Structure 1
Amino acid sequence: MTVARRCTVTGRVQGVFFRASTARKAAELGVTGAARNLPDGTVEVLACGSEQAVAGLCDWLHEGPPAARVDEVEVRDVPVPDPLPRNFATG
């Protein structure tokens, strides 16, 4: 069963390769979706995939890449997009 979660990551998460690192981790886990910088300095991540894979990515977001400092991750269940994303995009 496919699930979807929208995560908002707060801290020093822009300008530290957070989105690119998230895309690599998502590919490793088989998660599709997207990561994008928001104007308030946070990063928003849409993660779609199996419960286990999405949970793994959400757990990883609490640490992020080495240069990041994650203060908080807000995770919300959202409806699975139709059509489902085919890959993981950064924007």
Structure 2
Amino acid sequence: AYLSGLRNRLFDSGVHVMTVKPGFVNTGMTRDMNLPAALTSAPERVARDIFRGCRSGKDCLYTAWYWRFIMLAIRHIPEGVFKRMNL
């Protein structure tokens, strides 16, 4: 919500505000998380996607692309069920 408001406020000034939702990135921070390789992205890929997103003027960027659908599904889980899940 914050970046959406900031994006709206700065739109007329020519400043581009892009929300980046990178999912899991292969870094030291995720090294010990035992994540499936299919759910992780190389930092170089994330950087490339961010660069392309900025050049194309995207407001919101999911990288890798499939995180958009994963998060869509997660957002539709009822709060009471979500709190009991081990994600």
Tell me if both proteins adopt one fold, taking TM over 0.5 as the criterion.
no
Larger Rg: 2
Structure with more relative contact order (C-alpha pairs < 8 Å, separation 6 or more)? 1
TM-score (norm 2): 0.30
Between Structure 1 and Structure 2, the one with more strand by share is 1
Length-normalised TM-score, structure 1: 0.29
